[in-house]
Structure 1
């Protein structure tokens, strides 16, 4: 009789790349990922995370944060923060996203997150596209938040951190419903933008936000003089060539 075949679970496979790099003396391995890249409001959150090799048994269900429920993300975020060798989350505010462009701001956020780790990594894994400038070798991993546990952990830290901030933002600006759509371009958010105009927490380099700001400015110009209103704080902003460029999500 042959021995029973070993069942390789997907969660274990996600640790294979890190384990191989560690065995070849290239550790510690840090995973990097972001949340909020496609949102038109709120900060971009970029996380870097180093997990202990062979620690998979403590991370049941670890995967891409987008595939998890909010409760599962929060549960795993607690485990990641407790068991990670090191981690860091960097926030890039909307103004910086507007001035640098979302892709450049994202890459710079990744470099900052890795640089701020207390433990110097030997190798960096990024999700999907190559990034240089870490000072150590790096590798772009297709679907990295599914294929590499440390990238999945970074995605969870970035997502839970950003979601908490958007919930706080909702308390200050409930008219936009940030607690529901987290600043992404949903029909609900689009309707709120059309009704209230953009807030200072929106990204004016995004076409839909720039358009909503123009409409708000036109409405304000057609209105009779009165007390300073919500949208008057945006007068003149659209003269900025960055805002007029209209980079989409």
Structure 2
């Protein structure tokens, strides 16, 4: 090992699919601090990889249990946009292959924007089916946010274009749905199927709000996604409502 430079050792590590325990031991026994640091970095990377694998195992518990019972075609369903003062509520329905693996997939709110967008592309390219349901602010005002959320979810299921054996849904029970349902509280952090739907829904809605920001630049929708930030509330007070504001929501009512 001593005859190899630190750069050569680093290049060797980068070519390896898996660094063996023996190789790590050699790195630790090398008297050069730079080589010892490489060993530490490799061990940290291995620990991160193992942690993500354990997390994936936990987040596929529901999917594995359903498939063991004979439910093969699964749809994960989630929504984003219940709380904002403006914009639609958006739901997504995603069916993942049984061998799908995307370590780090989690509740979309816990992921950086760049990671969400990259994950969304992977999900869309590898999923068996993806559907999106969008319900407008006017419809939210008409039927209330909970019913609008359920409507968006049903639209997403329809748009997915498959007949599922079971649906894993984040916290909500849908009436008149002719499939087995498994509502899971906090499901976007407990099920990879729901997490995938969470990512697709959030990326879709964030892009919509960025487009609305071009039409209504005073409200900074590209930053707040329609949520009631101080900046947004100040703009509401100064400029009034837009056609995409939810007139039935506190904070918007005052401007009506």
TM-score computed with the length of structure 2 as normaliser:
0.78
Describe the superposition over 1:8-56 as per-residue Cα deviations: whole angstroms up to 9, x where unpaired.
6112211121122112211211010001110110111111000011312
Matched, 1:33 2:85: no
| Whole-angstrom distance in 2 between the partners of 1:197 and 1:137 | 45
- Structure number with higher helix proportion: 2
Q: How far apart, CA to CA, are the structure 1 residues paired with 2:198 and 2:167?
A: 14
The CA distance in 2 between the partners of 1:69 and 1:55, in whole Å, is: 21
Contact 2:132-2:155 within 8 A present in 1 as well? no
Helix, strand or coil at the partner of 1:208: coil
2:64 matched to 1:23?
Answer: no
CA shift, 1:195, in A, is 0.6
Q: In structure 2, which of residues 122, 130, 140 is the aligned counterpart of residue 87 of structure 1?
A: 130
Decide whether the 8 Å contact of 1:125 with 1:138 is kept in 2. Answer: yes
Paired residue for 1:239? Answer: none
Q: Secondary structure at the match of 2:175?
A: coil
Which of 50, 69, 73 in structure 1 is aligned with 2:95?
A: 50
Task: Give runs of aligned pairs for residues 159-174 of structure 1, distance below 5 A.
Answer: 159-174=202-217
Q: Partners of 1:84 and 1:13 in 2: how far apart?
A: 20
Q: Which moved more, 1:109-118 or 1:153-162?
A: 109-118
Q: Could you tell me how far apart the structure 2 residues matched to 1:99 and 1:70 are?
A: 32
Q: Answer yes or no: is 1:109 the counterpart of 2:173.
A: no
The 8 Å contact of residues 14 and 148 in structure 1, kept in 2 or not, is answered as: yes
Aligned counterpart, 2:178: 135
- Larger CA deviation: 16-25 vs 169-178: 16-25
Q: Unaligned regions of 5+ residues in structure 2, if any?
A: 1-49
Q: CA deviation at 1:108?
A: 1.4
Indicate the residue corresponding to 1:156 in structure 2. Answer: 199
Partner SS state of residue 91, structure 1:
strand
Partner residue, 2:109: 66
Q: Residues 183-239 of structure 1, C-alpha deviation per residue, up to 9 Å, x if partnerless? A: 0011111111011001001000102111112xxxxxxxxxxxxxxxxxxxxxxxxxx
Q: Indicate the RMSD between aligned Cα atoms, in angstroms.
A: 1.3
Q: Which residue is 2:166 aligned to?
A: 123
Deviation of the 1:115 alpha carbon: 2.2
Match of 1:203 in 2: 246
Work out which of the two has the higher radius of gyration on C-alpha atoms and give 1 or 2: 2
1: CA distance between counterparts of 2:176 and 2:120?
27
Q: Secondary structure at the match of 2:243?
A: coil
Instruction: Determine if contact 2:131/2:158 at 8 Å carries over to the other structure.
Output: no
User: Where has structure 1 moved over 6 Å in runs of 4 or more?
Assistant: none
Q: Contact 1:47 / 1:87 at 8 angstroms: preserved in 2?
A: yes
Structure 1 length normalisation: TM-score? 0.80
